[in-house]
Amino acid sequence: MLTLPTTFTVSLSKVMKELSLSVLYMPEDPEKIMINSTDVNRPGLELNRFYDYYDTSRILIFGNAETAFLNSLSTQDRRQVLDELFSKHPPAAIIARSLQPTPEMLAAVTEHRVPLLSTADTTSSLVAALVAFMNVELAPRITRHGVLVEVYGEGILLVGDSGVGKSETAIELIKRGHRLIADDAVEIRRVSAKSLVGQAPENIRHFIELRGIGIINARRIFGMASVKLTEKIDIVINLEIWDNQKVYDRMGLENEYTEILGIKVPVLTIPVKPGRNLAVIIEVAAMNNRQKKMGYNAATELLASLGMDIDTLQEEDKTLKLDL
């Protein structure tokens, strides 16, 4: 099992490229400046020299309010406040609305070697975009064996033993107009308390291994419309060889889940045997999952029309332990 670090970093150059930030002062190569906090700081209390809960790992954001407060100070007070603030060595500072930095700010960042950047965006837009980007880049993550595809807008993670037919099923789904995100290795990130996003490691992106054929590039064979860089994970489908001794769910009343990075994800177990068109079954599973999220369940409607008590037949949610 692959063990990954519990904390991650992102380079300042990647942040600058994502948010289209311009440079006012850069003490060194931004590729070497690493950021490890998803939060940002608008230094209101800090400009009043209150540092009890100040986190030096956060990027500083200066907007209209902060700039107006600094301009209200005398030159000497402004110099002292900014010198004390940047002496804490935050990873970077960004000025919103293309506001001009004061000479005292330029002097302070130069003395303490703190990158100073600028953007034309409003402060609220800058904070929202920066936090959203950092939440993805610094999200907890794991890499697991499987295939991730998008079917009718649903992110489906196919898992199962090696050789059960995951890649072959993905090829059939691509031929039917759906999209591939990752084959063999899926990097899963927890981007929020309820959301998981999967993608392929960059060095194997768009490649699929097919036994008997070898490695193919799905993007080059099927076109750009057949692939996607990232996708949320809505459902896990466990493919397993048909077991005649096992009783499979035939009603859809049992709700099975698996936990990935602490988030419960619905699981379907689909038995594999000759004659079963897995691609069509997965398409139906995707549409059925969308219906359930919208509040409709065909099984409960059928039982209600037959006059049966649904509560007595419906079982409690089960947690299924998969090799993820």
Alpha carbons within 13 A on the beta-carbon side of 255: 14
Q: What is the CATH number of the domain that holds 282?
A: 3.40.50.300
Please check whether residue 227 lies inside any domain of the structure: yes
Report the candidate in 182, 193, 185 with the shortest Cα–Cα distance to residue 139. 193
Which residues, 6+ apart, have CB-to-CB distance to 123 below 8 Å?
Answer: 42, 61, 63, 64, 65, 96, 97
pLDDT in tens, 111-132: 999 999 999 999 999 999 999 9
Q: What is the pLDDT of residue 5?
A: 47
Please check whether residue 324 lies inside any domain of the structure: no
Same domain, yes or no: 51 and 129: yes
In angstroms, the CA 89 to CA 108 distance is 11
DSSP 304-323: HHTT--HHHHPPPPEE----
| Mean confidence (pLDDT) of the chain | 90
Predicted confidence band of residue 314 (pLDDT cuts 50, 70, 90): low
Instruction: Name the pairing type of β-strands 22-25 and 40-41.
Output: unpaired
H or E segment at 116? strand 116-118
Same domain, yes or no: 94 and 47: yes
Please check whether residue 99 lies inside any domain of the structure: yes
Same domain, yes or no: 157 and 89: no
Sheet-wide strand order for 116-118: 22-25, 116-118, 93-95, 59-62, 40-41
Report the candidate in 125, 118, 64, 116 with the shortest Cα–Cα distance to residue 85. 116
Take residue 232 and report the two structure tokens written for it: 């949320």
Please list the active-site residues.
Answer: 145, 166, 184, 250
Q: What is the pLDDT of residue 313?
A: 56
Same domain, yes or no: 40 and 156: no
End position of a domain, from candidates 137, 168, 191: 137
pLDDT in tens, 240-262: 998 888 877 777 777 889 999 99
pLDDT in tens, 168-217: 999 999 999 999 999 999 999 999 889 999 999 999 999 999 988 999 99
Same domain, yes or no: 131 and 175: no
Beta bridge partners of 143: 187
What average pLDDT does range 15-28 have in this prediction?
96
In angstroms, the CA 91 to CA 33 distance is 7
Note whether 13 and 30 are within 8 A (CB): yes
Take residue 253 and report the two structure tokens written for it: 């009343």
Taking each helix axis from N to C end, the angle separating 12-19 and 123-137, rounded to the nearest 10 degrees, works out to 130
b (16+ CB within 10 A) / e for 19-50: bebeebbbeeebeebebebbebbbbeebbeee
Same domain, yes or no: 268 and 145: yes
Note whether 197 and 136 are within 8 A (CB): yes
Same domain, yes or no: 205 and 125: no
Count of domains for the chain: 2
Q: What is the pLDDT of residue 300?
A: 82
Q: What is the pLDDT of residue 4?
A: 45
Please check whether residue 14 lies inside any domain of the structure: yes
Please check whether residue 4 lies inside any domain of the structure: no
Please check whether residue 171 lies inside any domain of the structure: yes
What sections of 20-98 are H helices per DSSP?
A: 64-72, 75-86
Same domain, yes or no: 127 and 155: no
End position of a domain, from candidates 137, 170, 200: 137
Q: What is the CATH number of the domain that holds 93?
A: 3.40.1390.20
Report the candidate in 113, 22, 125, 112 with the shortest Cα–Cα distance to residue 64. 125
Same domain, yes or no: 117 and 219: no
Same domain, yes or no: 188 and 279: yes
Residue 165 DSSP label: S
Same domain, yes or no: 154 and 303: yes
Q: What is the pLDDT of residue 32?
A: 95
- Domain range for residue 102? 10-137
Same domain, yes or no: 235 and 133: no
Note whether 15 and 133 are within 8 A (CB): yes
pLDDT in tens, 145-164: 999 999 999 999 999 998 89
Asked whether residue 6 carries a pLDDT value surpassing 70, the answer given is: no
Taking each helix axis from N to C end, the angle separating 278-293 and 166-175, rounded to the nearest 10 degrees, works out to 80
What is the model's pTM?
0.80
Asked whether residue 319 carries a pLDDT value surpassing 80, the answer given is: no
Residue with tokens 């209150």: 50
Asked whether residue 308 carries a pLDDT value surpassing 80, the answer given is: no
Take residue 69 and report the two structure tokens written for it: 């407060």
Please check whether residue 1 lies inside any domain of the structure: no
End position of a domain, from candidates 105, 137, 169: 137
Please check whether residue 311 lies inside any domain of the structure: yes
